[in-house]
């Protein structure tokens, strides 16, 4: 989920029966569903004034604080979490087209930019050629 989408969520966007959250008017004006995270009263991430959502800059600041508290030198942003989500799904064997839908991408090429294939996954991938039963027959 994009940071700007997360801070604009309302309780009414939660479909508890299906365990999903409806993101309305996401990037490109598209609607999509993501998984449920909490049970607040109105906004999923309320601001100081509970009648309004949290400002997206507060989310970015919280991410910077968490990075510093974890002692990470590497640059980490809220968007990094989105990339990591996609990469872990791919590493766990989730079909790239499912990841495409979850990220709200129209084009698979956009999703491909979000995913990093781990070396372990590459090592575990068996070539279809390795499954061939070839018998070498010398010429007669």
Please tell me the predicted confidence (pLDDT) of residue 73: 94
Is-above-0.85 flag for pTM? no
Q: Give every residue of the chain whose pLDDT is below 70, as ranges.
A: 34-40, 118
SS (H, E, C) 1-58: CCHHHHCCCEHHHEECCCCEEEECCCHHHCCEEEECCCCCCCECCECCCCCCECCHHH
Six token digits for residue 24: 């309305």
Q: Compute the C-alpha angle 74/4/96, nearest 5°.
A: 70
Active site residues: 2, 27, 79, 82, 105, 114
Please tell me the predicted confidence (pLDDT) of residue 31: 72
- pLDDT tens digits for 47-86? 888 788 889 999 999 999 999 999 999 999 999 988 888 9
């Amino acid at each position: 989920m994009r940071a700007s989408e997360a801070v604009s969520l309302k309780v009414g966007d939660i479909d508890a029966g299906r365990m999903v959250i409806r993101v309305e008017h996401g990037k490109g004006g598209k609607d999509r569903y993501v998984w449920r995270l909490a049970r607040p009263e109105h906004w999923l991430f309320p601001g100081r004034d509970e009648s309004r959502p949290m400002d997206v800059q507060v989310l970015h600041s919280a991410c910077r604080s968490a990075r510093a508290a974890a002692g990470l030198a590497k640059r980490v942003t809220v968007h990094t979490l989105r990339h990591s989500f996609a990469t872990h799904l791919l590493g766990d064997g989730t079909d790239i087209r499912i990841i495409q839908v979850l990220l709200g991408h129209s084009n698979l090429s956009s999703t491909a930019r979000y995913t990093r294939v781990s070396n372990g996954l590459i090592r575990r991938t068996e070539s279809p050629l390795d499954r061939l039963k070839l018998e070498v027959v010398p010429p007669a």
